[in-house]
Amino acid sequence: MLDSFEFYCPTKIEFGQHSVDKMKDYIEALGIKNPIVVTDKVLIQIPAIKEAIEKIKNVTIFDEVLPNPTSDLVMKLKKFVEDHKGDGLVVFGGGSPIDSAKGAAVLAYTPHDVKEYYDSAENKLPIKQALPIIAVPTTAGTGSEVSKYSVITDEETNLKESITSDLIIPKVAIIDPLLTVGMPPSVTVSTGLDALSHALESLVSTIENPLTNIMAIHAIELILDNLNLARIDGENIKARSNMSFAALLAGMAMSHCCGTIGHAMGCQLTSQYSIPHGLACAVIQKNALDYVGDKGKNIKLLVDYLDKSDNTIGEAISKMKDKLDKLFIQLETKMDLSDYDMKSEEIEKMTKDAMQHGCMGLNPVKLEKETVKDLFESLK
């Protein structure tokens, strides 16, 4: 019998090649009169994006987003929105522009600082309103276009903080796989591995449900079959389209299930060594399969489906580890961090911070500090 569950996705999803052409209609439908485009200086040079922005009436552009957006950047964007009387945000980008826009959407026209809305803030302010967001992903991985999370690096502590609210879920996600064609192979791999991590972690999260499991399982199948194709032939539209769909499915699952140790540890690796987010989370996934407890039943569901076979939970976990090894070999990507000089004191700090990360509490097996430290050590 199925367990009870809830599912909420208020985002209008417009998926398909050339779907970006419908941008104007959505801006009008949302009643946005002064749209602020949020993006970065690289993306704004891409002809397809440039062309889409040129079609937006009365547009003002903020193109100063950097990877792993900081609290200062979000405050700068808040001020920019206010100075230009923005009443809606149109975001072109991967996770960084979308997360920056979500933060600014909450802060605009309030006297508050971003820190007051962090999930970790002692007297966290309630989020009562946010400007509408239209998200146009240019990568296939983050899932931020359908999620209620914004991840921001605090300028003072260098910790990855989050803001969570149903009100910051984009009103519209325009997912046009053609916009991902220009992604270089390294970004294709890292963002694709982010989607893989979202799906795997959703599947074993303590708050998984039957609907998110279907999304996660299909996302993993699509990623195993298409990520390397998208890497070696960026113009393979079928592979790009399948990866965009996989990222959407994994993002919807992640928005409900949050993450587990992959993101709890991966976020520390990104803060400490600037390892791309998706890669940082993905290198944990194989060892994380040793700590799935009773959620091993979902790994069995996954592998039985992928292989059209009937496995014990132990066999399924072992086969999934083999599939991850195979994928990393295909991607010519190391599943360790031996290229980084990880020092004991850094591992100590990352362990402490990972233990406090919101995703850690959703891991199906409660991990001791020593185990997490050993997991970091195993990447050396």
Shortest separation between residue 278's beta carbon and Fe ion, angstroms: 6
Instruction: Give the range of 97-105, 188-196, 226-234, 351-359 binding Fe ion by CB under 5 A.
Output: 188-196
Q: Does 176 bind Fe ion (CB under 5 A)?
A: no
Q: Do 379 and 283 form a contact (C-beta atoms < 8 A)?
A: yes
Residues 53-82 that bind Fe ion (CB under 5 A): none
Write the secondary structure of 123-154 as one string of H (helix), E (strand) and C (coil): CCCCCCCCCCEEEEECCCCCCHHHCCEEEEEC
Beta-carbon-side half-sphere exposure of residue 247 (alpha carbons within 13 Å): 35
Count of residues near Fe ion by CB under 5 A: 1
Judged on CB neighbours under 10 Å (0-12, 13-18, 19+), 282 is buried
Query: Minimum CB separation from Fe ion for residue 194, in Å?
Result: 4
Closer to Fe ion at the Cβ: 254 or 292? 254
Nearer to Fe ion, 80 or 149 (CB): 149
Q: Could you tell me which stretch among 6-14, 23-31, 167-175, 192-200 binds Fe ion (CB under 5 A)? A: 192-200
> Are the C-beta atoms of 143 and 198 separated by less than 8 Å?
yes
Report the candidate in 176, 178, 189, 181 with the shortest Cα–Cα distance to residue 231.
Answer: 189
DSSP state of 297: H
Candidates 74-82, 121-129, 162-170, 194-202: pick the segment binding Fe ion (CB under 5 A).
194-202
Least distance (Å) from Fe ion to the CB of residue 160?
10
Q: Least distance (Å) from Fe ion to the CB of residue 39?
A: 20
User: Residue 220 is which amino acid?
Assistant: I
Q: Which is nearer to Fe ion, 289 or 359 (CB)?
A: 359
* Shortest Å, Cβ 141 to Fe ion: 7
Choose which of 14, 99, 145, 194 interacts with Fe ion (CB under 5 A). 194
Q: Is 47 exposed, middle or buried (0-12, 13-18, 19+ CB in 10 A)?
A: exposed
Helical residues (DSSP H) of 136-236, grouped into ranges? 185-204, 210-232
Instruction: Select 145 or 194, whichever has its Cβ closest to Fe ion.
Output: 194
Name the residue nearer to Fe ion (CB basis): 99 or 194: 194
Least distance between Fe ion and beta carbon 133 (Å)? 18
Q: Are 56 and 42 in contact (CB under 8 A)?
A: no
Closest CB to Fe ion belongs to which residue?
A: 194
Residues making contact with Fe ion (CB under 5 A) = 194
